[in-house]
Structures are given as C-alpha cells and as structure tokens.
C-alpha cells in the first residue's frame, strides 16, 4: 500500500468482491482484499480507515458459515456490510436473519430515508439484489434506512457506531447511484482523504523494491506486455544496472513477437535484455499435455528453471521480478473465492526456487492501473497499449495437445485477426482480441474437395479492468473479411466462429 489510508475489504467469498476494491480505488482511496479470517490483531495493526464485509454464498446461522469475532464491531472503525456482510452484522449484534422461500435476484425499486450514506441521492431508485437470506429484525441500537416492496430491511445502520449494512450491491453497475453510496460511506462516514495516486504508488514501490533488493542483483522475465514492461521499469528505477531482463522464447509466441520485443525494449528503451531460445525445452515438456492448469504449472516451472540457468551464466542473481497483477492473484484463488484458473506466475510456480525472493511490484494493481503507472513512468504508447498476451502464450490458446503444426496455424490466423482489427481502426475500442485453435474438427468443402479440419474461434472483448468483460460488437463486414482471409490463407482451418460470451460467466481467455 502506498500510504496509511486504506479501506480493508474482508472477503467472504462473494462474486462481486473484486469490484468493491475496484470501486473504492476509483474514488482515490487505496483498498485491498483480505481474507475474512484475518486476525483482529492484524487489523488493529493496519488500522484501516474503514472496513467492508463482502457478500458470500453462506448462511450466517449455518455451522460452516464464515464469521469473524464480534470484537471487530467494537474497534471504532467505520464498517459497511454488503449482502452477506450486512446479515453478518445483524447476526453478530443479536438481530434476526431468516431464509426466504425464494431467492431474490435482480433490480428492485428501493426507497431511501434521509441519512448520510444516501446523501444527495433521490428518495427512490433501482438497487441490485442477489440473496436468499435476509435481515428480518434489526439489532437494538440500529435503524432501517431503506426498503423495497419485498425487503423491509434493504439498509440499516447504527449511526453512532458508524456501522452500516446494505442488503443490495452498490458496487455493481445495475444499482443506480451505487458509486455515490460508496463515496458517501468512504468520505462522509469514514472521513477518508482520498490520497491514492499513481505518483504516490510509484514512489513507495521504488522505496519498497530498494528495501527488498538491498545491494542484490535482480532478474526480470520480460514478455513484452505492459505488465512486465512496467514492472521492469519500476525495478530499473530502483536498482539501476543491477537489473537484467530476460526474454524467453518458449516457442509459444505470436508471429514476429520476439524480434519486435527486442527492437522496442533493447534498441528503443535501452534495457539490458537477453533473448533465450528455449523452444525445445518447453515444447518437449508440454508434449501430449491437454489439461490447461497442468500446462500453466509446467510453463511456470520451466520459466523459473530458465531464469535459474541465466542467473548462473551471468553470476548469481538474488531476486526474480514478475509482472503479476491483481486479477492473476484473484483468479488463482484467494481466501474463500474459488480459483478460476491457475496463472503460471502465481499457482504455476514451483515450490522451491533458487532465488532469495520474488519482487512483484504490480501485485496489488488492476490492468488499467498498471497502464496509469506506465504513463507516469513515461513509457511509450506502443508499449502501454500492446495487445495483452498471456505468459503461457499459445499453450492456452490451443485447446488440447500442442504441436508445431498447430502453433504454425494459430500464429498465422492470429496475425490476420490483429492486422484486420488495426486496418479497421478498432484497436482502441477493443480491450483484447485473439484467436483460439479449438480441439474440434469439422467437415468442409474447399475446391470441390471434402475437408475435415480445425475450427478456429475468434475472441474479442471490451473491458475496463479485465475483472468483467463484454464481447466486442465487431462490424459484420470486418468479421467477414477476417474469416475469409483465415480460411483462404491458413492451412488446415475450414471453419471460423466468433465467441459472444461475456465475463462472467466465461473468462476472457478460453483456458
């Protein structure tokens, strides 16, 4: 964290937990997700400006329910409970929580009373509900602040203690004025100053890196993407020429990727960047592997082995830098949140690595925040807006086993997609776009001959922070041109489909 002001978000396993952190940071206040089981002594030591209890799938009165010591409500710290978090407050304070006969889900008309948390809001609006349990009777000392026709206690509070509960979700866009509600809690109730700035983050990160690295030497894995570029730049500012960057060609890169990266970072930015050809090493380990998480673990382990070998060749290196970002950590499994997929740089790391430690300066940032740091650091737009590319590369964009022929086909198809998006001037409107070689073959007719070849999927999404995304509405003529070029120019592809699934329920990458 970059200053003493922090809103602690305690994770009870809800689906919108990362959005809460995101919304608070957007207000200019640093926020971070902690497990619900964080000890009270740790919370006291952090001394947060405010605490937010998230939603979650449990019932507060079940034996397996996730709970916290009631002492947390006596610390004098402003607290906001959302959905399950609100029910937990009521339960701990001896209110009554019940289970409804049917789950309440979706937009509801809500009536607000005059209170600080709803200051400057209209008296009525739309809120987003997603719950089965509800607060039937509020605890002594609390008052009802909002209601819907089906939920008498849509919001309640102990004004004196500055403890508030919302049965609905202000963090989702479906709740009208949801951001204003969070803003009122953070600034008018918790009295936050709002000094979360990228400049402050950069200064504190550089200081932290210097403290961790000491006089040691540092190695950074460079993928060419914005995450590793920004991480490397931060570390370079901290340790100077004690940083060596390594670009590993694992054979899973996009067309001309390595030469472009070397041109930008070594020749253009003057970084000490070494290119390692490790194609045979990675592809031999991946031969016959079809499970995506196994692929990620193998790739994560081999990356570290390569870095260890480089360390020996250039002299002992003390620390390894990774461009891990917040969504990587969250999706790999956090607290009570279910793991969505292992990221090669989080869940894919081997248990033992021959470095004194890892340096991950971006671990607490969302993707758009990383780009803001890059702007502050003066990185060129060509780097900051480079199309995101996962560390495992095409290994997770080829469904099933990986072969040289599949890699060749996918490289060409992916290059065509990216070229046509650029020619259509859509690159600034689409967050991410790429091709996936599916594990499906289909019958086709080409040149009056029957074919039985690969089906290629195209994926393009719009997003703000990669935690949620919508499929991009690419104009039909552009999609038509992309499809025609791929089936005509790429061998072994006879069918092209377009993925129109949002995140959630899907993820951006297929694997």
- For the record, the structure tokens of 82 come out as 């959302």
Q: In what order do the strands lie in the sheet with 96-112?
A: 31-35, 7-11, 50-53, 79-82, 163-166, 155-158, 143-147, 96-112, 124-137
The owner of tokens 């607490």 is 364
Check if 83 is active-site: yes
- For the record, the structure tokens of 364 come out as 């607490």
Q: Within 13 Å of residue 5, how many CA atoms lie on the same side as its CB? A: 18
Q: Mapping DSSP to helix (H, G, I), strand (E, B) and coil, where does residue 178 land?
A: helix
Among the options 171, 302, 412, 511, which is catalytic? 171
Among the options 131, 169, 250, 343, which is catalytic? 169
How many CB atoms neighbour CB 129 within 10 A?
22
Among 474, 433, 475, 473, CA closest to 457? 433
The answer to whether the beta carbons of residues 178 and 170 sit under 8 Å apart is yes
Among 212, 199, 209, 196, CA closest to 4? 196
The answer to whether the beta carbons of residues 167 and 155 sit under 8 Å apart is yes
Rounded to an integer, what distance in angstroms lies between the CA atom of residue 255 and that of residue 481?
A: 20
Check if 104 is active-site: no
User: Do you find a cis peptide bond into 504, omega within 30 degrees of 0?
Assistant: yes
Check if 171 is active-site: yes
Among 434, 393, 411, 421, CA closest to 478? 421
Q: Mind giving me the DSSP string for 82-120?
A: ETHHHHHHHHHTT-EEEEEEEEEEEEEEEEEPS-GGGTT
Helix residue ranges, H only, 240-325: 257-261, 279-286, 292-314
Active site residues: 83, 169, 171
């Amino acid at each position: 964290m970059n200053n003493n002001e922090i809103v602690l978000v305690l994770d009870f396993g809800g689906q919108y937990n990362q959005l809460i952190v995101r919304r608070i940071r957007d207000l200019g206040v640093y926020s971070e997700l902690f497990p619900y089981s964080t000890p009270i002594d740790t919370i006291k030591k952090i001394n947060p400006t405010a605490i937010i209890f998230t939603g979650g799938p449990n019932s507060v009165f079940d034996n397996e329910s996730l709970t916290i010591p009631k002492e947390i409500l006596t610390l004098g710290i402003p607290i906001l409970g959302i959905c399950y978090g609100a029910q937990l407050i009521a339960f701990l304070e001896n209110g009554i929580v019940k289970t409804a006969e049917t789950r309440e889900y979706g937009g509801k008309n809500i009536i607000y009373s005059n209170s600080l948390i709803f200051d400057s809001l209209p008296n009525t609006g739309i809120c987003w509900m997603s719950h089965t349990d509800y607060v039937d009777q509020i605890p002594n000392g609390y008052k009802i602040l909002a209601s819907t026709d089906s939920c008498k206690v849509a919001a309640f509070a102990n004004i004196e203690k500055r403890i508030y509960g919302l049965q609905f979700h202000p963090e989702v866009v479906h709740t009208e004025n949801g951001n204003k509600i969070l803003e009122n809690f953070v600034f008018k109730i918790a009295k936050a100053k709002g000094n979360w700035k990228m400049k402050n983050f950069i200064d504190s990160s550089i200081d932290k890196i210097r403290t961790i690295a000491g006089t040691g030497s540092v190695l950074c894995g460079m993928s060419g993407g914005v995450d590793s570029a920004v991480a490397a730049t931060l570390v370079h500012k901290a340790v100077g020429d004690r940083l060596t960057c390594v670009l590993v060609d694992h054979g899973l890169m996009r067309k001309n990727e390595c030469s472009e990266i070397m041109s930008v970072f070594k020749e253009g930015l003057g970084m000490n960047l070494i290119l390692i050809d490790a194609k045979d090493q990675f592809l031999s380990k991946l031969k016959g592997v079809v499970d995506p998480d196994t692929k990620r673990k193998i790739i994560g382990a081999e990356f570290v082995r390569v870095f260890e070998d480089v360390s020996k060749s250039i002299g002992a290196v003390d620390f390894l830098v990774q461009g891990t970002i917040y969504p990587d950590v969250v999706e790999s499994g956090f607290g009570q949140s279910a793991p969505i997929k292992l990221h090669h740089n989080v869940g894919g790391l081997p248990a033992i690595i021959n470095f004194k430690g890892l340096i991950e300066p971006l671990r607490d940032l969302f993707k758009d925040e990383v780009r803001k740091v890059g702007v502050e650091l003066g990185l060129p737009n060509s780097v900051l807006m480079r199309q995101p590319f996962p560390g495992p590369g095409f290994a997770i964009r080829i469904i099933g086993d990986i072969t040289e022929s599949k890699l060749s086909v996918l490289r060409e198809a992916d290059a065509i997609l990216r070229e046509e998006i650029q020619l259509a001037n859509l690159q600034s409107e689409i967050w991410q776009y790429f091709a996936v070689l599916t594990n499906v073959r289909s019958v086709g007719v080409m040149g009056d001959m029957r074919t039985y070849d690969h089906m290629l999927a195209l994926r393009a999404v719009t997003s703000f922070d990669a935690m949620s995304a919508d499929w991009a509405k690419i104009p039909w003529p552009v999609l038509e041109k992309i499809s025609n070029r791929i089936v005509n120019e790429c061998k072994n592809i006879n069918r092209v489909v377009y993925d129109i699934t949002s995140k959630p329920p899907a993820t951006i990458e297929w694997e």
